[in-house]
Structure 1
Amino acid sequence: MERIKSFKQLVSHLNEMEQRKRVAVISGTDESTLYALHRGLEAGFIDVIFVGQIPDFEKHQEFLPHKANIQQFPMEDEDESAQFAVTLVREGKADFLMKGLVHTDNLLRAVLDKEKGLLPAGNILTLIAVAETAAYDKLLFFSDPAVIPVPTRKQREWQVKYTIDVCNAFGIEEPRISLIHFTEKVSEKFPCSVDYADLSQESREGKWGKAIIDGPLDVRTSVDSEAMEVKGIKSPIAGRADALIFSDLEAANAFYKTLSFFGEAKQACILCGTSCPVVVSSRGDDGESKFYSLAMAAVVGK
């Protein structure tokens, strides 16, 4: 598989696959979600299953040419809607989920249900984002701007595993994963840096397979080979990171929103750890971001 370096290339790749993925969207009646779904239908890589609140198709006649690729299951109760959507996935009738106007708490209650949910025992839930910026010549993945406040060592290991899986799905055979701190020095004052040193050593010993993992490193040296050379840092990342693992949610969330507003980056994100991708976009994300999140879920989902 050719490496995917842009969102345009991602959508082209999905078109070439000629395989529609079925997305169960819960109360997808807001304009940005409808924009994303319609664009996905037009691009030909999704079928849409509306669950819960159903759009007024009289006002959204752009969906009429795609009625053969749309199913509807109207429901009033948010918990019932979320549970039904999860059941569709468990029964093999949907490939992944998307959040519309349903409250995140209602959705996650169904997703995380120990008996009827989508999180396999032992897995953790985390969010992986990907950005396309004018300053970098490839997509940049990063975790976790929304779910885990301060990852434990075990949670960080899962974040690394999921990030490798996502990068592989995008055709990156040997992803370079940089473990982000404000300095490249290891200090017990910052427990994450100790975890980073251990993960880097494990990578050198081959524990993580075909992946290059190193840190602590800062963001600039992770993506700028000249900055790494000027600072005299020797790292197999070599200023060409494919993915960044942040120390905590605050740092990752600030990075996500800074890229979006000041960097005008195109971004997408999905929940990982579940048996299928879950698109849970921020309320501030626009229709384009939600569309790219759909495309990300479609390529990552099996």
Structure 2
Amino acid sequence: MVLPEVYLHIQGAQYKRLITATEGLAAITTAIVHPCDALSLGGALEAGRRGLIQPVLVGPKARILAAAQAGESLTSIEIIDAPHSHAAAAMAVAMVRSGKVSALMKGALHTDELMEAVVNAELGLRTERRMSHVYALDVPTYPKPLLVTDAAINIYPDLAHKRDIVQNAIDMMQSLGVTCPKVALLSAVETINPHITSTLDAAALCKMADRGQIQGGMIEGPLAFDNAISAKAAAEKGIRSQVAGEADILVAPDLEAANMIAKQLIYLAGADAAGIVLGARVPIILTSRADSLLSRLASCALAKRYLDHQTGIRS
């Protein structure tokens, strides 16, 4: 008789370790953009109580006060009054440019509204690096944290954009203590096919890494999803690689693929998901309405670890 495989997993265990690991770091001053519902406001306030961030609330003051739960006091929290969500996003970005805050956190507004202010050519937060979104997933059936990118910003990235997407994810994983993260460049197959653009991009990115255009990670591709995360699948296909079956980072061919991978892991595999945008002047904590409180706290912890790591590099 063949017995079923049994996995023992404590939900959110990796996130709790991540949050605990930030306890010795100073809270980062963070503009919470339009926190006008109980979920986004409550998550920001709890992150403040945990010492992850020092929240500055930016949005319609009356609506922010109305969103506070019974017993929650905002008397010690700075509130910047803004008439609506677009104005709140613009004001928060201006606060970054003036050095008043070190991070942004999405509240109860659409991602497009926030990012429109962030990517503004004259008044936004662009750098020479392409911005990209990174999902940090705690997957019950995977033995370590898993990053998936880019699921929210770049729809159909070209090769130059993918270079920055990969570098952003490597930088994020290094800030979590993984010195040389293993990066799997995903496609439908693990061999180069001139009719499948993602396989050509993967081959080019690997050569770019060889030539120092991407630094800090061990990069392999193209790899199909199965042999990127399963050593057994990789062995069965005869793939000899230090990345196959051991990936720390999954780089999808485009936004649609990355978003579907992340959502499938969340809703079919029971994964917890934290999210952050990198490549701007400051990290942007990009929460979803479906995010749990733990996921929101973990997203704040990602920003805190990333800023600390970047400060260490610059010093």
TM-score where L is the length of structure 1:
0.91
Q: CA deviation at 1:59?
A: 4.7
Aligned residues: 294
Match of 2:313 in 1: none
Match of 1:96 in 2: 103
Q: CA deviation at 1:119?
A: 0.9
Match of 1:235 in 2: 241
**Deviations along 1:177-227, whole A, 9 cap, x unmatched?**
000112101111111101111222333455433310000111221122122
Match of 1:181 in 2: 187
* Counterpart mapping for 1:28-67 below 5 A: 28-54=35-61, 55-56=64-65, 59-64=68-73, 67=75
Match of 1:164 in 2: 170
**Which amino acid is 2:241 matched to?**
S
Are the aligned partners of 1:177 and 1:213 in contact in 2 as well (CA < 8 Å)? yes
Q: Does 1:202 align with 2:211?
A: no
Q: Does 1:212 align with 2:218?
A: yes
**Which amino acid is 1:222 matched to?**
A
Q: CA deviation at 1:154?
A: 0.5
Range that drifts further, 213-222 or 275-284: 275-284
3-state DSSP of counterpart to 1:203: helix
**Which amino acid is 2:91 matched to?**
F
**Deviations along 1:226-273, whole A, 9 cap, x unmatched?**
221122111120411110100111111111111111111111111111
Are the aligned partners of 1:78 and 1:106 in contact in 2 as well (CA < 8 Å)? yes
Q: Does 1:278 align with 2:287?
A: no
Match of 1:293 in 2: 299
Going from structure 1 to structure 2, the CA distance change for 1:276 and 1:62 (only over 3 Å counts) comes to farther
Match of 1:12 in 2: 20
Structure-2 separation of matches of 1:138 and 1:51: 36
Going from structure 1 to structure 2, the CA distance change for 1:232 and 1:52 (only over 3 Å counts) comes to same
Structure-2 separation of matches of 1:241 and 1:191: 22
Q: CA deviation at 1:75?
A: 1.6
Structure-1 separation of matches of 2:185 and 2:110: 32
Are the aligned partners of 1:33 and 1:287 in contact in 2 as well (CA < 8 Å)? no
Structure-2 separation of matches of 1:216 and 1:148: 20
Q: CA deviation at 1:14?
A: 1.2
Task: Determine what percentage of the aligned residue pairs are the same residue.
Answer: 28
3-state DSSP of counterpart to 2:190: coil
3-state DSSP of counterpart to 2:22: helix
Match of 2:133 in 1: 127
Match of 2:33 in 1: 26
**Alignment gaps of 5+ in structure 2:** 1-12, 311-315
Going from structure 1 to structure 2, the CA distance change for 1:101 and 1:116 (only over 3 Å counts) comes to same
* Counterpart mapping for 1:105-124 below 5 A: 105-120=112-127, 122-124=128-130
3-state DSSP of counterpart to 1:147: coil
Q: CA deviation at 1:63?
A: 3.7
Structure-2 separation of matches of 1:186 and 1:291: 40
Alignment RMSD: 2.0
Q: CA deviation at 1:58?
A: 8.7
TM-score where L is the length of structure 2:
0.87
3-state DSSP of counterpart to 1:173: coil
Going from structure 1 to structure 2, the CA distance change for 1:93 and 1:218 (only over 3 Å counts) comes to same
Are the aligned partners of 2:232 and 2:245 in contact in 1 as well (CA < 8 Å)? yes
Range that drifts further, 207-216 or 267-276: 207-216
Structure-1 separation of matches of 2:162 and 2:95: 30
**Alignment gaps of 5+ in structure 1:** none
One of 250, 253, 263 as aligned partner of 2:269: 263
**Which amino acid is 2:54 matched to?**
D
